[in-house]
């Protein structure tokens, strides 16, 4: 299949966006993207009417094969958080609106995707995020349209818990800034306004650094855990709020190096879940 430079620039953001949402990993997505374009260049294009759909099918199937065959999640030490996606990197891809839109990109959404079967992930994304018609989805995943509709309905039900997530960047940023200010002066009353009593914290160290190997639940336990980290921080500790996965997140630096990224699931102006990603393999691209 002949792919011009213009077509490569046109399709690359779409394929990256699709792969990242399926896998929750920048590194794995880049590998699948490279493999897709390489395999596509070796295919006879006489019977290919729609390059975009065909490339999406190739990318989707490679990602699904990886999801079905990989045991990384099963053997992962502690909670698994998606690899954070910094948008300075995204913009360097010269992305289309399909890549930078907020829907289906938050850490909370991508974590929920882990509860779906590979085919459910694909159908949900292709339909809800990328607005593919069922006829094309059926061709991409090699299933009947009727089956795709049922898969979509089932996936929607399973991921409904994050349907009400706030994606208002500026409003969320104000909430996070209030959280930082209250946390620094240990104003529990303000923190009680901002954080749910039933908040859960997922600390992802991947066995590479010290992290909680189980989710931490309840306001008091989560706050105790965070204050414990804060008290042990070195003198050169500092934080910075930046755009991660199209939402404000807290970047924590120690000894001049990015040590962790904290993301939030915000529902009705309240923090319901906190995700701390410390696994150095997931931060190396942003160092």
Q: CA end-to-end span of the chain, whole Å?
A: 37
User: Which pLDDT score is estimated for 10?
Assistant: 84
**What pLDDT, in 10s, does the model give residues 159-174?**
988 888 999 999 999 9
Backbone dihedral angles phi then psi of residue 239, each to the nearest 5 degrees: -125, 160
pLDDT at 9 over 80: yes
Residue 236 makes CB contacts below 8 A (sequence gap 6+) with 253, 254, 255, 256
- Distance in angstroms (rounded) separating the CA atoms of residues 280 and 205: 8
Q: Which is higher by pLDDT, 86 or 61?
A: 61
pTM of the model: 0.90
Give which of 105, 226, 260, 249 is closest to 172, Cα–Cα: 249
Q: How do 257-267 and 270-277 pair as beta strands?
A: antiparallel
User: Which pLDDT score is estimated for 98?
Assistant: 45
User: Please, is 219 exposed, middle or buried when counting C-beta atoms within 10 Å of its C-beta (0-12, 13-18, 19+)?
Assistant: middle
User: Which pLDDT score is estimated for 88?
Assistant: 59
Question: Which bin fits 189, alpha (ψ -120 to 50), beta or left (φ > 0)?
Answer: alpha
Set out the domains of the chain in order of their start, with CATH numbers.
Answer: 5-162 (1.20.140), 169-286 (3.10.450.50)
**What pLDDT, in 10s, does the model give residues 206-231?**
999 989 999 999 999 999 999 999 99
pLDDT at 191 over 80: yes
pLDDT at 49 over 80: no
**What pLDDT, in 10s, does the model give residues 121-155?**
999 999 988 889 999 999 999 999 999 999 999 99
What's the helix, strand, coil split of the chain in %, to 5?
A: 55, 15, 30
pLDDT at 273 over 60: yes
Residue with tokens 């990318």: 59
pLDDT at 96 over 50: no
β-sheet bridge partners, residue 241? 250
Structure tokens given for 15: 């394929």
Q: Count, in order, helices (H) and strands (E) of the chain.
A: 13, 6
- Distance in angstroms (rounded) separating the CA atoms of residues 41 and 44: 8
**What pLDDT, in 10s, does the model give residues 245-271?**
999 999 999 999 999 999 999 999 999
Average pLDDT across the chain, whole number: 89
β-sheet bridge partners, residue 262? 250, 276
**What pLDDT, in 10s, does the model give residues 230-252?**
999 999 999 999 999 999 999 99
């Amino acid at each position: 299949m002949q792919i011009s430079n213009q077509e490569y620039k046109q399709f690359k953001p779409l394929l990256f966006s699709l792969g990242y949402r399926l896998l929750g990993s920048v590194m794995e997505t880049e590998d699948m993207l490279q493999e897709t374009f390489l395999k596509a260049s070796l295919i006879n294009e006489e019977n290919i009417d729609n390059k975009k759909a065909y490339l999406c099918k190739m990318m989707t199937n490679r990602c699904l094969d990886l999801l079905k065959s990989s045991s990384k999640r099963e053997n992962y030490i502690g909670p698994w958080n998606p690899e954070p996606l910094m948008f300075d990197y995204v913009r360097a891809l010269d992305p289309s609106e399909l890549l930078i839109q907020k829907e289906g990109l938050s850490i909370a959404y991508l974590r929920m995707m882990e509860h779906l079967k590979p085919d459910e992930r694909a159908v949900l994304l292709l339909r809800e995020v990328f607005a593919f018609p069922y006829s094309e989805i059926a061709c991409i995943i090699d299933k009947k349209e009727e089956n795709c509709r049922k898969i979509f309905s089932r996936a929607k039900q399973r991921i409904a818990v994050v349907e009400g997530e706030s994606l208002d960047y500026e409003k969320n940023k104000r909430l996070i800034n209030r959280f930082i200010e209250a946390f620094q002066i240990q104003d529990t009353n303000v923190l009680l306004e901002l954080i749910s009593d039933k908040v859960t914290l997922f600390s992802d160290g991947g066995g590479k650094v010290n992290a909680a190997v189980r989710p931490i639940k309840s306001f008091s336990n989560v706050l105790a855990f965070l204050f414990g980290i804060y008290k042990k921080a070195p003198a050169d500790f500092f934080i910075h709020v930046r755009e991660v996965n199209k939402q404000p997140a807290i970047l924590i630096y120690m000894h001049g190096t990015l040590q962790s990224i904290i993301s939030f699931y915000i529902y009705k102006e309240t923090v319901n879940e906190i995700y701390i990603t410390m696994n150095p393999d997931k931060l190396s691209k942003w160092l």
